[in-house]
A and B are shown apart, each in its own frame.
Chain A
């Protein structure tokens, strides 16, 4: 079983819709959670970084963490065609623990926002 599960998609939405992405994980030691965006032939780019349960907003993006359910989400409001990309969740254990700097990724969800 993978440590981090993420639906590969593709997820196709019309422009202006809300995009909802999520990941589940099995390792309760994960305490820090990230969402990366990756355009084709590019490297992953950090979008959101959270470490506590609850919501974090940054512009059109909202990251949600539920540690009790081992479930994280990313919501993109007012989606634009430029949001079309692969979205990757990533997580790690606290720094100072063994492998604390290592990121564990989900497989990524491909998102297509149609004009």
Chain B
């Protein structure tokens, strides 16, 4: 069974540009999460989808970040316009219906560098 995949693995952009990160969860997982780790800090929650609906977006830093999960499958996280402080590693995780199990499986992350 394929794990959580993320694309790209690394992105380098200039301040003011737009970047879109993609996450493909484990097949059949209703729950999809985005987390971020900025340099020197802990991994922090950004938001949680249940199927195509945003369940909790309390961790989204500001309105430059837009997450979508059309059709309840893969998800995208767009940063527009990117700022220097957005640099870090963006992780996606997925889990099954929480009535079955709630273990979150993480992808390898997308390393974003904003110059």
Q: Which residues does A use to contact B, with CB under 8 Å? A: 2, 4, 6, 36, 41-46, 49, 88, 90, 95, 99, 101-108
Contact A44 B58 (CB under 8 A): no
Q: Which residues does B use to contact A, with CB under 8 Å? A: 4, 31, 33, 35, 41-45, 48, 55-56, 58-59, 91, 93, 95, 98, 102-109
Contact A43 B44 (CB under 8 A): no
Contact B91 A106 (CB under 8 A): no
Contact of B42 among A4, A41, A42, A43 (CB under 8 A): A4
Residue of A nearest to B50 (CB): A101
The distance from the CB of A33 to the nearest CB of chain B, in whole angstroms, is 13
Contact of A106 among B42, B58, B98, B105 (CB under 8 A): B42
7 contacting pairs across A/B (C-beta < 8 A): A43-B93, A43-B106, A44-B43, A99-B58, A101-B55, A103-B45, A105-B43
Residue of A nearest to B91 (CB): A43
Residue of B nearest to A8 (CB): B40
Contacting residues, chain B, for A44 (C-beta < 8 A):
43, 91, 106
Contacting residues, chain B, for A105 (C-beta < 8 A):
35, 42-44
Where chain A touches its partner, the secondary structure class is: loop
Contact A99 B56 (CB under 8 A): yes
The distance from the CB of A57 to the nearest CB of chain B, in whole angstroms, is 18
Contact A101 B33 (CB under 8 A): yes
Contact B98 A95 (CB under 8 A): yes
Contact B48 A101 (CB under 8 A): yes
Give the distance in Å from the alpha carbon of A46 to the alpha carbon of B31 in the complex: 17
Give the distance in Å from the alpha carbon of A2 to the alpha carbon of B41 in the complex: 10
Contacting residues, chain A, for B55 (C-beta < 8 A):
101
Give the distance in Å from the alpha carbon of A106 to the alpha carbon of B41 in the complex: 9
Contact A41 B108 (CB under 8 A): yes
Give the distance in Å from the alpha carbon of A101 to the alpha carbon of B49 in the complex: 10
Given A103-B43, A107-B42, 7 additional A-B pairs, CB 8 A: A42-B108, A43-B108, A43-B109, A101-B102, A103-B33, A103-B104, A104-B45
